[in-house]
Chain A
């Protein structure tokens, strides 16, 4: 099975405390730690496991700047066979539809049976997979937490739905699946693994390589645009307990007693 996994380099929510810049309109990006979008690691792991079972190859693709190459290399260290970086100044400011259009032109140049994305990324929109499927006119399933290969024509997939339940469906290939965390345990990648793939060539493709009209992607083609970042004023928020740990615990115990916690 030929599998393409779409991945993204994102600010790591587990490693960063997000602050606004001095103008208050963007994140303070100076010291941000970036990594592979968490959901994407599960998608790549799942793709590798499928290929281990039924044969084929895994290609990882991303839309981003030159720094995004490092995440492709990381996923190749996990076991992806190929990587491709889709990068062009004209791609900057793309909305979800723009990103999906860029990925679609790369997919059109290959012969893929299965396309995977993470269920969502840093923007929390969970949009690119569904858009890609609609553009490619193939079936789609989101929030997938189980994949069984039935034969070379179809898969049996589970979707995570409300209440921890799982919706099982049969889906025809080719298709697009967005992968939910927890579907597997993504393998660990060490420094040595990264070194092994350090010299592998990763092709870079721009708008003209992909046959894309520059006006249809990037800021020029975007209908949805982020104006600024802000921290909402949500009223009072929590009463913050302060002092030494002993003092805090003393206050907390009184409150827990009053509220039925002790």
Chain B
């Protein structure tokens, strides 16, 4: 039976949603496999998280040290090298912390590495783990084999291994304090501070309807076309990452894991391909209308209504028709 460990991110004494996703992922790696949770931090917050995890995990390992109060991946990687046994499967979330931590950890543990896994299809012959990933911004999926004979470090895409709602959480686990085994915590990258995102002129999280633009808008001068549609719909304009990178709209307008999390009733995805990082910022099951000239755009797999048109021609016509109502 595979030996599986999972690193549980947390903040302010509350475990991240992915805490409940690792056991689901482990069950897909090998039915019946159990997962040991590893949680690092400091003081009362850490104790609270560790205790809360005992309902979902039989075994919880906690590492308490003041140096771990802020989750610096450089330090935590060193700790994990002393805690995760050789040959084990180690799971982390493919979030900004996991991306910082995991690739280097796989080298230090001399283990295979698979990133951003969206599905597992079991283990063949004792050492070949079969899994599914996506490439090219979600345009295609791939079957991948991963030789786990000397262990593996795997990051899972947050949200895709969500447990069924009726799942029982009564593992009745216990917490083991391994703070003494953490080892040397000195590193060459020192955390200074968090700089909070600047508030923008418009709060896109407050709007029931968003007209959201992506690469399909093609140029800064065309933002106006989206603004006119938004005005006609009594909505506001939001966007995907490339628009902010190009500095055509402020960062505060960006929907996605690296931008804002929004819960509109209606989401008009205009020329947005639909990467998982973008969709990660879209909560509350909105009605999604996708307009994209590429019929294979991944957004059509998650949208409620899809239209294959060039947004630069479609939006002005829609605006006109709405104004006539």
Stretch at the interface among A48-56, A73-81, A225-233: A225-233
Binds A, one of B21-29, B36-44, B94-102: B94-102
Task: Give the segment of B54-62, B162-170, B177-185, B240-248 that binds chain A.
Answer: B240-248
Instruction: Point out the residues of chain B lying under 8 angstroms from A119, CB to CB.
Output: 99
In the assembled complex, A202 has its CB within 8 A of some CB on chain B: no
Interface-located stretch among A84-92, A107-115, A128-136, A208-216: A128-136
Q: Is the CB of B266 within 8 A of A168?
A: no
Residue contact A142 to B137, C-beta cutoff 8 Å: no
Complex Cα distance, B289 from A227, in Å, reads 34
The smallest beta-carbon distance between B262 and chain A, in angstroms, is 12
Among candidates B194, B241, B294, B307, residue contacting A241 with C-beta atoms closer than 8 Å: B307
Task: Please determine whether B304 and A229 come into contact, CB atoms closer than 8 angstroms.
Answer: no
Give the complex CA separation of A169 and B190 in angstroms: 5
B303 near A: Cβ within 8 Å?
A: yes
Do A96 and B113 touch (CB < 8 A)?
Answer: yes
Partner of B307, one of A139, A226, A237, A248: A248
Contact A223 B112 (CB under 8 A): yes
Q: Are A18 and B191 in contact (CB under 8 A)?
A: no
A127 to B135 alpha-carbon distance, docked (Å): 13
> With A141-B100, A229-B141 known to touch, is A224 a contact of B112 (CB < 8 Å)?
yes
Q: Is the interface of A mostly helix, strand, loop or mixed?
A: mixed
- On whether the beta carbons of B300 and A126 are closer than 8 Å, the reply is no
Q: How many residues from A make CB contacts under 8 Å with B? A: 81
Binary contact track B222-247/A, C-beta < 8 Å → 1, others 0 = 00000000000101000001101111
Q: Is the CB of B189 within 8 A of A225?
A: no
Taking the nearest CB of chain B, how far is it from the CB of A218, in angstroms?
15
Distance in angstroms from A167 CB to nearest chain B CB is 6
Q: A163-B261, A253-B321 are in contact. Are A134 and B116 (CB under 8 A)?
A: no
Is B197 located at the chain interface by the 8 A CB criterion?
A: yes
The answer to whether residues A163 and B135 also contact, given A127-B113, A140-B104, A229-B140 and a CB cut-off of 8 A, is: no
Taking the closest CB of chain B, its distance from the CB of A157, in whole angstroms, is: 8
Q: Are A226 and B103 in contact (CB under 8 A)?
A: no
Among B45-53, B83-91, B250-258, the stretch in contact with A: B250-258
When C-beta atoms are compared, the residue in chain A nearest to B95 turns out to be A162
- State the CA gap A185–B132 with chains docked (Å): 34
Q: Which of A133, A223, A260 is close to B147, meaning CB atoms less than 8 Å apart?
A: A223
Find out whether the CB atom of A125 lies under 8 angstroms from the CB atom of B96.
no
Instruction: List the B side residues contacting A11 at CB < 8 Å.
Output: 136
A190 within 8 A of B: no
By size class, the interface of chain B is 35 or more
CB proximity of B4 to chain A, nearest CB, Å = 18
B171 interfacial contact with A, CB 8 Å? no
Distance A163 CA – B303 CA, assembled complex (angstroms): 23
Question: Which of A124, A182, A252 is within 8 Å of B305, CB to CB?
Answer: A252
Q: Of A135, A238, A255, which one neighbours B107 at CB under 8 angstroms?
A: A135
Hey, what's the 0/1 contact readout for A32-74 against B, CB within 8 Å counting as 1?
0000000000000000000000000000000000000000000
Tell me if A161 is interfacial: C-beta within 8 Å of chain B. yes
B257/A261 in contact, CB under 8 A: no
In Å, the complex CA distance between A141 and B101 comes to 9
Given the interface pairs A123-B135, A185-B247, the reply to whether A255 lies near B305 with Cβ below 8 Å is yes
Chain A residues at the B interface, C-beta cutoff of 8 Å = 11, 13-14, 17-20, 27, 95-97, 100, 119, 122-131, 133-135, 138-143, 156, 158-172, 175, 181-182, 185, 223-232, 234, 237-241, 245-246, 248-250, 252-253, 255-256, 259-262
19 A-B residue pairs with CB within 8 Å: A13-B273, A14-B215, A20-B140, A96-B115, A100-B107, A124-B137, A126-B103, A129-B103, A130-B101, A134-B108, A141-B100, A168-B191, A169-B189, A181-B245, A182-B244, A227-B144, A229-B142, A245-B313, A259-B266
Q: Known pairs A97-B107, A122-B135, A160-B96; list 6 more (Cβ under 8 Å).
A: A17-B295, A139-B187, A143-B96, A160-B258, A238-B288, A238-B305
CB-based closest 9 A-B pairs: A130-B103, A238-B306, A164-B197, A134-B104, A261-B266, A134-B107, A223-B112, A125-B115, A238-B303
B interface residues, Cβ below 8 angstroms from A: 72, 74, 77, 95-97, 99-108, 112-116, 132-137, 139-147, 187-197, 208-209, 215, 233, 235, 241-242, 244-247, 251-252, 254, 257-261, 265-266, 268, 273, 287-290, 294-296, 300-309, 313-314, 317-318, 321-322, 325
